[in-house]
Amino acid sequence: MLSKLFSELKRLPRYAILLAALTALGMTAGLYRLYAGLGATTNMSKVFPWGVWISFDLTTVALSGGAFTLAALVYVFHMHDLHAATRPTVLFGLLGYSSVLVILFFDLGRWDRFWHFIVYPNINSALFEVSWCIAIYSIILIYEFSPVIVERFGNNRLLEWIKKLTIPMVIAGITLSSMHQSSLGTLFIVMSPRLHPLWHSMLLPVFFLLSSIPAGISLIIIGSIVSDMLFGHSLSQRVLEKLGWLMPWFLGLYLALKLGELLVTEELGLLFSSGKYSLLFWLELVVGVIVPMILFSIKSVRWNRWGTLTAAMLVAAGIVLNRFDATWFAILPRQGVTYSPHWLELALLVGVASGVLLVFTILSTYFPVFVETMPTRKPQEAAVEAGRAERAPALSGD
């Protein structure tokens, strides 16, 4: 019995041990934070009451936008050849949101009251809306991922039943995502005295929603190529090309709105006059938007694996920088006080991120996460996967 378990565990890749160790360390840091309070374990202050944890949360939510974008493309716009990407993407989204919830828990001064948002609504509060949408959307993501688990245990009746709800659940998921992706931008509207005017805008909710779409797509592309390296499974270049083709449209619209807003509010001058802030803004737009927009417009780049990966990484980096700017770098200091994270803040982040990767590894080792993707090596294993998919054709079809 025990030896069977052991041999099962041996199927996990080696680096799982490293991930487990980092997770344990991070959780220790988290427990210490709960014990010692926020003052001793973080560098947050009255002037910077939010730190790198919030930056991480906003970044992760944006990068997890792939789940709702893909659901819209596949189920609403019937782009069925993207279907192969849904399982890994939904799983990434689910784990992304879970990590956000875990970090938020450690971030709250009264973590024992995290459930208060359910019973004490403030409908004016963007953070209230974000909490609700993320909570419900996490349930939808669990639902969207559930076929993978159910399939593993071969319960076809349950599977049929789950499939029947797909479309309404997907549309609810898209709606909730649009709401919380945009509301995360709304969060900063009330902070106008603190957020640099290059970032502060009444269009913040539109910017955040719009940018979460290319952010999500970029993560699908990166995830696919990384899983090729780790698990020997990937989306076909034909599918990646299709995703890449979408990018310039979203990035272009985002760029036009960003600059258009500065034009209308007569803040274009800030692009040159704000020193460090101008530089950050340019970096975001040139490296994260304009360059990948050009790259993705070139057909030969889209058909090239490394070209696609490079462009996708640039988009992701631009979004990461944008969310870090809005939550940290572009928050104006007061009384000369600035912020940089305490090592325990970083330790918790590393721990939670490792935990998420560990769960991803475990699930994709033991459950049919990659059934529809192309096996790129290890032919024997690929044959096993293919056989499994054949035995249950109805399951992989949708």
Partner 1 sequence: MSRNHTYGFLIDASRCIDCRACLVACSVENDVPMEHTRIWMKGTGVMGKFPDLQRYTAPYHCMHCLDPSCVSACTVGALQQNEDGIVTYDDKRCIGCRYCMYACPFEIPNFEWDQRLALIVKCDLCVNRLAEGGQPACAATCPTQAILFGKREEMLALAHARIEDAPHRYVNHVYGEFENGGTSTFYISPVSFEQMGMPITDETRSPAHFNRLVTHGTPAVAATVAVAMSGAYLAIKRQSADNAAAEQASDGRPDDHE
Contacting positions for partner 1 (CB under 8 A)? 34-40, 44-47, 49-50, 72, 75-78, 80, 107-114, 116-117, 120-129, 131, 167, 171-172, 174-176, 178-179, 182-183, 186-187, 189-194, 202, 205, 334-335, 394, 397-398
Q: Which residues of 249-266 are buried (b: 16+ CB within 10 A; e: fewer)?
A: ebbeebbebbeebbeeee
Residue 37 or 269 having the CB closest to partner 1: 37
Residue 314: other Cβ atoms inside 10 A: 21
Residue 55 or 361 having the CB closest to partner 1: 55
Q: Facing residues of 397 across strands?
A: none
The minimum distance between CB 288 and partner 1, in angstroms, equals: 25
Instruction: Quote the CA–CA distance of 121 and 130 in Å, as a whole number.
Output: 12
To 5 degrees, how large is the angle CA 295–CA 298–CA 299? 135
Residue 83 or 305 having the CB closest to partner 1: 83
Residue 15 or 115 having the CB closest to partner 1: 115
The minimum distance between CB 198 and partner 1, in angstroms, equals: 16
The minimum distance between CB 26 and partner 1, in angstroms, equals: 20
The minimum distance between CB 73 and partner 1, in angstroms, equals: 11
Instruction: Quote the CA–CA distance of 83 and 70 in Å, as a whole number.
Output: 8
Instruction: Quote the CA–CA distance of 212 and 182 in Å, as a whole number.
Output: 9
Reduced to 3 states (helix: H, G, I; strand: E, B; else coil), residue 337 is strand
The minimum distance between CB 71 and partner 1, in angstroms, equals: 10
CA distances from 345 to 54, 103, 105, 106, 112 (A): 11, 10, 13, 10, 20
The percent helix, strand, coil of the chain (3-state, each to 5) is 75, 0, 20
The minimum distance between CB 18 and partner 1, in angstroms, equals: 32
Q: Facing residues of 70 across strands?
A: none
Phi/psi of residue 371, each to 5°? -50, -40
DSSP-assigned letter for residue 233: E
Residue 121 or 154 having the CB closest to partner 1: 121
The minimum distance between CB 255 and partner 1, in angstroms, equals: 22
Phi/psi of residue 287, each to 5°? -75, -40
Contact criterion met (CB below 8 Å) for 358 and 13 = no
Instruction: Please provide the distance, in angstroms rounded to a whole number, between the alpha carbons at the two ends of the chain.
Output: 36
The minimum distance between CB 165 and partner 1, in angstroms, equals: 12
DSSP-assigned letter for residue 13: -
Instruction: Quote the CA–CA distance of 65 and 212 in Å, as a whole number.
Output: 5
The minimum distance between CB 45 and partner 1, in angstroms, equals: 8
Q: Facing residues of 374 across strands?
A: 234
The minimum distance between CB 143 and partner 1, in angstroms, equals: 17
Instruction: Quote the CA–CA distance of 110 and 177 in Å, as a whole number.
Output: 27
Instruction: Quote the CA–CA distance of 352 and 226 in Å, as a whole number.
Output: 20
To 5 degrees, how large is the angle CA 361–CA 363–CA 367? 130
Phi/psi of residue 195, each to 5°? -90, 135
Residue 177 or 361 having the CB closest to partner 1: 177
Residue 212 or 361 having the CB closest to partner 1: 212
